[in-house]
């Protein structure tokens, strides 16, 4: 019973967050939510690994994940997704080709998964086909813009400005991100990050 209530609460929150991309009537939501799969990751557990073909979109109900790439044998963090956001390697998800990034939980993370197969199956259900396709397109567009914004911040903002921006978006979970992950993401050394952190704490 407790598990059922927990899943229902997750779906309510998911529906609220999803409203920025698409809204569903109760009947449509019953169809859509039936394809949602609850999933929990342990700390540092992989959601996807480099070289895999990404078959799901993951919505983060609680926790956070980091994206990492392989650079000459070193796994470097290059992005984060937090509570209330989607996590996936969209180029692989859309193209069906192996992904160049991996995703792993920063801490215990609760997810809601929607498989590509389920989304494609919605196209055969007239009651939800159009809305499901619109939703998928809008989510993909949103995260393409996020990626372009990230490229822009590296060109136009200092590491300290990028740090403060991430601090504002990450909420409480931000404080739990290991320093070497943050340094990777910002493109600086751990020593430089420590100085930035000290300066930002001095402003608080």
Q: What is the model's pTM?
A: 0.86
Tell me the C-alpha to C-alpha distance, in Å, between residue 70 and each of 77, 78, 135, 164: 9, 10, 31, 26
Q: What mean pLDDT do residues 116-130 have?
A: 92
Buried b (16+ CB within 10 A) or exposed e, 20-41: ebbebeeebbebbbebbeeeeb
Percent of the chain predicted with pLDDT > 90: 48
What is the reported pLDDT for 170?
A: 62
Give the closest residue to 106 by CA, choosing from 86, 90, 83, 88.
83
Question: Regarding predicted confidence, which is higher, 52 or 165?
Answer: 52
pLDDT band at 2; cut points 50, 70, 90 = low
What is the reported pLDDT for 90?
A: 81
What is the reported pLDDT for 33?
A: 95
Q: Domains, the chain, ranges and CATH? A: 1-156 (2.60.120.10)
What is the reported pLDDT for 39?
A: 95
User: In this predicted structure, which of 40-49, 61-70, 194-203 has the lowest mean pLDDT?
Assistant: 194-203
pLDDT band at 89; cut points 50, 70, 90 = confident
What is the reported pLDDT for 58?
A: 94
- Tell me the pLDDT of the chain averaged across its residues: 86
Task: Please check the confidence at residue 6 and state whether its pLDDT lies above 70.
Answer: yes
pLDDT tens sequence across 173-204: 677 788 888 888 888 888 888 888 888 766 55
Return the residue matching tokens 């939510």: 33
Q: Would you state the structure tokens that stand for residue 92, as one six-digit string?
A: 């692989």
What is the reported pLDDT for 113?
A: 96
User: In this predicted structure, which of 50-54, 95-99, 111-115, 173-177 has the lowest mean pLDDT?
Assistant: 173-177
> Within the chain, where are the H helices?
2-18, 26-33, 90-95, 116-122, 129-156, 159-170, 179-186, 190-203
pLDDT tens sequence across 144-160: 787 777 767 666 778 88
């Amino acid at each position: 019973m407790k598990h059922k209530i927990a899943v229902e609460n997750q779906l309510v929150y998911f529906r609220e967050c999803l409203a920025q991309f698409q809204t569903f009537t109760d009947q449509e939501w019953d169809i859509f939510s039936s394809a949602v799969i609850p999933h929990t990751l342990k700390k540092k557990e992989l959601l996807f690994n480099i070289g895999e073909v990404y078959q799901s979109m993951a919505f983060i109900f609680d926790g956070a994940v980091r994206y990492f790439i392989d650079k000459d044998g070193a796994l470097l963090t290059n992005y984060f997704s937090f509570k209330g956001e989607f996590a996936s390697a969209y180029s692989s998800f859309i193209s069906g080709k192996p992904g160049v990034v991996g995703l792993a939980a920063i801490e215990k993370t609760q997810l809601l998964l929607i498989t590509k197969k389920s989304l494609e199956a919605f196209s055969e259900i007239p009651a939800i086909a159009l809305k499901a396709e619109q939703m998928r397109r809008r989510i993909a567009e949103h995260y393409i813009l996020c990626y372009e914004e990230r490229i822009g911040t590296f060109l136009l903002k200092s590491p300290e400005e990028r740090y403060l921006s991430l601090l504002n978006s990450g909420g409480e979970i931000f404080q739990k991100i290991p320093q070497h992950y943050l340094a990777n993401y910002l493109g600086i050394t751990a020593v430089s990050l420590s100085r930035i952190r000290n300066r930002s704490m001095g402003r608080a």
